[in-house]
Amino acid sequence: MTPAQSNARRFLRSVAAVFLKDWRSELRTRYAISALLMFVVTTIAIILFSLGSEGAPADVLSGMLWVVIFFGAMSGLSRTFVMEEERGTTLTLQLLATPAAIFFGKLLFNLVLVFALNAVTVLLYAGLIAGFTIRNVPAFLVTTVLGSIGFAAAATIIAAIIARANTRGTLYPVLTFPILLPLLLTVINATRLASEGAFIEEAYGEFQILVSYIVVIVVISYMLFEYIWKD
C-alpha cells in the first residue's frame, strides 16, 4: 500500500469513527432524534388543523413541506457541534484528528439525521395533508435527496460556527436562513413541479442549481473549517 493509500484509509477510518461516535451517542441520549420528531409531528398537526378540509394550492403545500423540514432541521442539526462545546470535548476531538476528518464525520452524521427526518416528514405530510399529491415520484425523490444533502452541508458548517457563540440557540436559524434561502427556493419550486406532475426534464434546471449549491457549500466548508474549528 502506498503512503497516499494508507493516509486515505486512515482518513476514512477517522471519518467513520467520528460518525459512529455521534451515532452511538445519539442512540444513548436521543437528544436530536427526539427534538426532530417532536417538532415534525407538532408542526404537521398544526398545519393539519389550520387547513381543516379547505386544502391549499400545490405551490403553497410544497412550500409548507419545506418549512416543516427547515425548522425541524434547525431544532436538531446544530447539536452535533454544540454538544461537543457544552461537554468540553471540542478540544479532545481537536487533539485526536485533523479538522477535515472531524468535518466529514459530522457531515455524515447530519446527512443520516436529515435523511431520516425527511423520510418521516414526507411520509407523514403526504399521508395526512389532503391535497398534497406527488404526481412525478422520481423528480420528487431526486429533489428530496439533493435538498437533504444541501441542508445537511449548510447546517453542519453553520453549527460549527455558532457552537462557539453564547447566543447559539437563537443564532442558528437566523444565520442559517439566508444561507439556505437559495436552496429553499429551489427545492420548493422542484417539489411544486413534482407535485403538479411535470416531466422530470422540466426540473433539470432546479437539479443543476441544487448540485451546484451542494458542491459550493461543501468545498467552502472544507476550506474554512480548519479556521473555525481551531480558534
34 binds other proteins (CB under 8 A): no
Report the alpha-carbon distance of residue 123 to residue 18 in Å, rounded.
Answer: 30
Which C-beta is closer to other proteins: that of 6 or that of 208? 6
Q: Least Å distance between CB 15 and other proteins?
A: 9
Q: Are 97 and 14 in contact (CB under 8 A)?
A: yes
As measured in angstroms, the least distance from the Cβ of 148 to other proteins is: 25
Least distance (Å) between residue 68 CB and other proteins: 30
Closer residue to other proteins (CB): 87 or 135: 87
20 binds other proteins (CB under 8 A): yes
According to CB under 8 A, which residues from 88 to 127 bind other proteins? 88-89, 91-98, 101, 105
Minimal distance, residue 129 CB to other proteins, in Å:
37
Q: CB under 8 A: which stretch of 83-91, 142-150, 182-190, 202-210 binds other proteins?
A: 83-91
Contact call for residue 161 and other proteins (CB under 8 A)? no
Q: Does 3 bind other proteins (CB under 8 A)?
A: no
Residue whose C-alpha is closest to residue 145's, from 210, 219, 72, 62? 210
Q: Contact with other proteins (CB under 8 A): which of 3, 4, 13, 111?
A: 13
Binding residues for other proteins, total number by CB under 8 A: 29
Residues in the site for other proteins, rule: CB under 8 A?
9-11, 13-14, 16-18, 20-21, 24-25, 28-29, 87-89, 91-98, 101, 105, 230-231
